Amino acid sequence: MWLTMTHTLLRNLFGAKATRRHPQVARPPLEGSRGELVNDIEACTLCGVCAAKCPSRCIEVDKGEGLWIQDPYACVACGVCSELCPAGSLRHRGEYRPPAEVKSTLQLQGRARREKHSP
């Protein structure tokens, strides 16, 4: 038993590290990972399909104000929004957001759409 413990102790002290100093030493993203959601707001029509279909409800669309709002901490990177976006403005960039000290939402200003009312 002591021989096994000594071997394990020496391996842990002098062997390769089991962890890395993240974020200073970042691991490359896994192949096929979706990563952070990105919206090309110039191409976005603010139709609201992404907000309606998002299973984690992390997207809000305000057509009147022209705002596209996302809570990146609630996003589960499932890809439903980017697959269903009729304008093709949503995509996952393959890398995840860097760590942040303060939780915040992402707000993008697009073109406001005013509803036309008939007299």
Domains of the chain: 37-97+104-112 (3.30.70.3270)
Task: Provide the whole-model pTM.
Answer: 0.70
Sheet holding 67-70, edge to edge: 59-62, 67-70, 106-109
Q: Please list the residues that pair with 69 across neighbouring strands.
A: 60, 107
Mean pLDDT of 77-81: 93
The rounded mean pLDDT for the chain is 87
